[in-house]
Structures are given as structure tokens and as C-alpha cells.
Structure 1
Amino acid sequence: MLFDTHVHLNAEQYNEDLKEVISRAQSEGVSEMVVVGFDRPTIKKAMELAEAYDFLYACVGWHPVDAIDMTEEDLQWIEDLSSHPKVVAIGEMGLDYHWDKSPKEIQKEVFRKQIRLAKKVKLPIVIHNRDATSDIVEILKEERAEEVGGIMHCFSGSVETAKECVEMNFLISLGGPVTFKNAKKPKEVAEEIPLEKLLIETDCPYLTPHPYRGKRNEPAYVKLVAEQIAEIKGLPLEEVARVTTSNARKLFGIKR
């Protein structure tokens, strides 16, 4: 029973074969998935998928790259959606200093607004971080984000940063990069962070794990992430699957 905590089945890459992709995931033991929406079109599709499949859930928020496009109406819409029974988190939100579409100050403002919204509606948050670790940690502390906690999505930072995030009531989610031969940091995090504080994800269609790197990612491949963590920790795959699934259900408030 594997729980892929971050999928983009709402992406156009799955327009042709979505049902087959979902079927392959189930045949590999993926019991639940969270579809992440991060702008108007992807949120709408995430909600449609969550309503169509009992084992799919939705996370709704605004991506930092597009922070400059978010209006007060968008924020209110996200708040309205947060009461839907299949919406389990707010995000993905955060900071992205790799792309320069949205100025840093606007990204920070939109990030803070979404944390405050999540605290208001009492849902965990999903954090996107690219080249912005110190600012993200600072904002999470200033906004007292530990009150709702959440996920450091596709974590790529150091063990020290991971431990700091765990202390702030966040779970560390590992994806495809943990399987890359040259990915030193994710492997160290998998080794050092207790299994009770870890989640698994694909971030599909991106960040495809070895040996499919370079091809389109899909939720069935989350098993490769779990297998790598099991190998690093010297644990049975079943144990990694059981604990990470339990961690996800607890965080998202899912009773199955």
C-alpha cells in the first residue's frame, strides 16, 4: 500500500492515457494519491479528478512562479474549495528563485497569505522550494506555520535543514532524485531522518526516478522511491510502504 503524496495527473502530459496511468499505479500497489493544483486550470482539474476517483485527493494553492498572477479572488476561491471533503492540503506554495517571472517580494507576500489561509481553514501546507531555503525557513517560522505543519515537497536540501523542518512540524517528502546515483543529499536525508517523518512522492510527470530518468514520470514509479529508501535504511519495502502511508493519512486526515 503506497501513498504518492504529490502527483500532477492534471498535467497535459496525461491527456491521452490518464486511465491507463492510474490503472498502472494501482497495479503497483499505489492505494492513494494527492493531485496538486497550483493555478486556475490545474486546480479545476485536480478537483474534477478527486471527485471522480475515491482514492484521489486534491491539494489546492498557488505556485510561487505564478505569484504575480494571483488575485484576491483566487485566494478566496482557494478558501472556498478548502471546505470540500476531498481537499486535504493547501499548496503547493513557497518560493522559487530559479525562474524570475514573479519578483521575490511578491512571491513572499503570496506565500504568507497562503500560510495564513491554511491556518484559518486548519489544513496542512505543501511547500515548493527552489534555491530559496533560508527565506522559506524564515517565513515558516515568522508565520508560525508549525500550527498546521505540512510537507517539504521533493526535498533536496541538507540533513540539517531537514531536521530543522521536522522540528517545525513538517514531514520530509522524497521523490525520484533519491534514486539518482549522484544525488548525495537526498540519500543522506533518507538515511538520517526517521521513517516516521518521511513521505514518498513522484511529482509526476517530472523528476522521473532511475532507471526511467528522462522519460515521463507516473505514479506507478513511486514504488522505486520506496524501494530506494528501504535499501538505504536496511528495511523491508513493506515497512517503508506501511509507515509512509500511515504518515500521509495522518497528516491529510484520511481515514481508510
Structure 2
Amino acid sequence: MKIVDTHAHLDMLKHPGPAVKRARDAGVAQVVAVGIDLESSLKAAQLSRELGGVFCTVGMHPNNAAYTERSVWSELKRLALTAPAVAIGECGLDYYRDRTPKDIQREVFAQQIALATDLGLPLIVHDRQAHEDTLAMLKEQHAGRIGGVVHCFSGDAAVAKKVLDLGFHIGVTGVLTYPANQELRDLVKLVPSDRLLIETDCPFLAPQAMRGKPNEPSYLVHTLAELATCLGREPEEVAAATTDAARRLFGLPELGE
């Protein structure tokens, strides 16, 4: 049984190489290393070259949007083409933290939707307490043509339906395992199996069994187990479905290639 961690900040781990090896030993055969600014995108690209089974994205997180210089866009585009990247992001809107004015967040998000469209790459979308504006921007810029994932999904069933109607996937993290998150456990039952992705968002959001520790890709097995329980299916079946969905969205090679 092999699975894919579709969202990991490997550059934030103290020792990404050993963490990827532990992941492989646990059955996490591929990891998508996600960039949140130019520096981390460069690091993600480097890790994708150095570590087998690691693929990178390039992007600008909304909390970093205020520091985006014009020259960054040409660098991100160059990096996306040369790395090569499998997606644009992490990008989107974050109205929970007051780190960047909303108008700047929206401008930077729009530029990344345009970049993804230009390059034909999917989007990795960050949406925190900004569901209405996030969905509106994706719809207005016809992002459904390229698709993507709303990672670490935090909306309700109505938001999930709109995400799915746009052609996007829903990403589920270790928060699925938290006792207080029954709403999310109920919601995943409504999502088609070919539109669900699993992710760690490491080093954040360690699953319940590992709370208090820095998260890492090997812990994805706990999220898989909880998701299988929620869906009333065997873990192997859910592993196959989420892995196939990840491979199709990001253009990843077959496991074992």
C-alpha cells in the first residue's frame, strides 16, 4: 500500500532527507514539497532534485504577499519551468491572520491564478476564513480549466460543493483525526473518492496520535486510517483512490517508476 503526501513543507523540517526516508518506509512513496515564497520555492525545487519521490511547487502564500516584489514573478515562472514544478502555490487568501492587506492578497492570488493558467499547471489553494472571495476569484478567472486543490479544507458542505463544482479537489490533513472535528469527518463522506487528497501540511497539524510533535510525511498513515474509517472502506482502497487522484492532478509518475 503506497500513498502520496500532496502538501508538505519539507524545507521547514530540520532533516528533510531522513524524514523522506521514514515516509518511504511507512508507505508514503511520493511527497509534494510546497513553496510559500521565492526562497522556500527554491528550496523545494532543490529537494525535488536531491530526494527521490519528491516533487515541488512554487508559489506565494497570502501571508507573504505583502513582500512580493515585481521581479519575483519572473523568477517564480522561470523556476516553475526549470524545476519543473507540478503546481503553482501555495497561494490564496487568509483573512484569519492580519498580516497582509486583503487587496494585496487578492492581487497576488490573481497573479498566481494567471501564472498557473499560462503554464497549464494546477493550483494549490490556501483558503482560511475567506471562502466567498476565494471561490469568486477562482470562478472569475476560470481556474476550473486548470483545476487544483483547496488544501487543508476548512469549509462546510456548501463550500465543498462549490469547490467541487469548480472542478477542484479537497485536501484533508491530520485535523481529520482531532476529536472536535466531527463536521469534517461527516463532510468527507460527501466528496467523490476521485476528488479527495490526503496531506500532512508538515511540520504543522500533526495527527491526534502525534500531537505535540513536528508533523512529517510518515504520519500521513494516521490520516489515511481515519479517512478510511469515515468512509467505511478498507485503507488499501482509500490509498489507491487518493494516490490515483494525486497522480492525475499533479502529473506524477506511477509509483515504482
TM-score range, shorter chain: over 0.9
Are 2:38 and 2:58, in contact at CA under 8 Å, matched by a contact in 1? no
Match of 1:204 in 2: 202
Match of 2:181 in 1: 183
Match of 2:230 in 1: 232
Are 1:50 and 1:86, in contact at CA under 8 Å, matched by a contact in 2? no
Structure 1 runs of 4+ aligned residues shifted over 6 Å read none
Q: Secondary structure at the match of 1:88?
A: strand
RMSD: 1.1
- Distance in 2 between residues matched to 1:81 and 1:104, nearest whole Å: 27
Q: Which runs of 5+ in 2 are unaligned?
A: none
Are 1:157 and 1:185, in contact at CA under 8 Å, matched by a contact in 2? no
Q: Which moved further from structure 2: 140-149 or 82-91?
A: 82-91
- Distance in 1 between residues matched to 2:66 and 2:16, nearest whole Å: 31
Aligned pair partner of 1:217 in 215, 218, 233? 215
- Distance in 1 between residues matched to 2:90 and 2:16, nearest whole Å: 22
TM-score, normalised to structure 2, is 0.96
Task: Give yes or no for the alignment of 1:249 onto 2:250.
Answer: no
Q: Deviations over 1:64-119 (max 9, x none)?
A: 01111112211111111222354100000000112222100000010001101100
Are 2:28 and 2:218, in contact at CA under 8 Å, matched by a contact in 1? yes
Q: Secondary structure at the match of 1:157?
A: coil
Are 2:189 and 2:231, in contact at CA under 8 Å, matched by a contact in 1? yes
Match of 1:140 in 2: 138
Match of 2:11 in 1: 10
Which one-letter code corresponds to 2:196 in the other structure?
A: L
- Residue 150 of structure 1 deviates from its aligned partner by 0.1
Question: How many residues matched?
Answer: 253
Which one-letter code corresponds to 2:5 in the other structure?
A: D
- Residue 25 of structure 1 deviates from its aligned partner by 0.6
Are 2:178 and 2:207, in contact at CA under 8 Å, matched by a contact in 1? yes
Q: Secondary structure at the match of 1:58?
A: strand
- Distance in 1 between residues matched to 2:45 and 2:146, nearest whole Å: 22
Q: Secondary structure at the match of 1:231?
A: helix
TM-score, normalised to structure 1, is 0.96
Q: Secondary structure at the match of 1:37?
A: coil
Q: Which runs of 5+ in 1 are unaligned?
A: none
Match of 1:44 in 2: 42
Q: Which moved further from structure 2: 231-240 or 71-80?
A: 71-80
- Distance in 2 between residues matched to 1:10 and 1:105, nearest whole Å: 29
Are 2:66 and 2:104, in contact at CA under 8 Å, matched by a contact in 1? yes
Aligned pair partner of 2:160 in 159, 162, 186? 162
- Residue 22 of structure 1 deviates from its aligned partner by 1.4
Q: Secondary structure at the match of 1:126?
A: strand
Are 1:159 and 1:193, in contact at CA under 8 Å, matched by a contact in 2? no
Aligned pair partner of 2:86 in 64, 85, 88? 88
The 3 A distance-change label for structure 1 pair 185 and 75 is: farther
Q: Secondary structure at the match of 2:32?
A: strand
Which one-letter code corresponds to 1:54 in the other structure?
A: G
Are 2:17 and 2:51, in contact at CA under 8 Å, matched by a contact in 1? no
- Distance in 2 between residues matched to 1:69 and 1:220, nearest whole Å: 33
Which one-letter code corresponds to 1:192 in the other structure?
A: L
Q: Secondary structure at the match of 2:4?
A: strand
Q: How does 1:63-142 map to 2 (within 5 A)?
A: 63-84=61-82, 86-142=84-140
Are 1:51 and 1:86, in contact at CA under 8 Å, matched by a contact in 2? no
Match of 1:23 in 2: 21
Give the percent of matched residue pairs that are identical in Structure 1 and Structure 2.
38
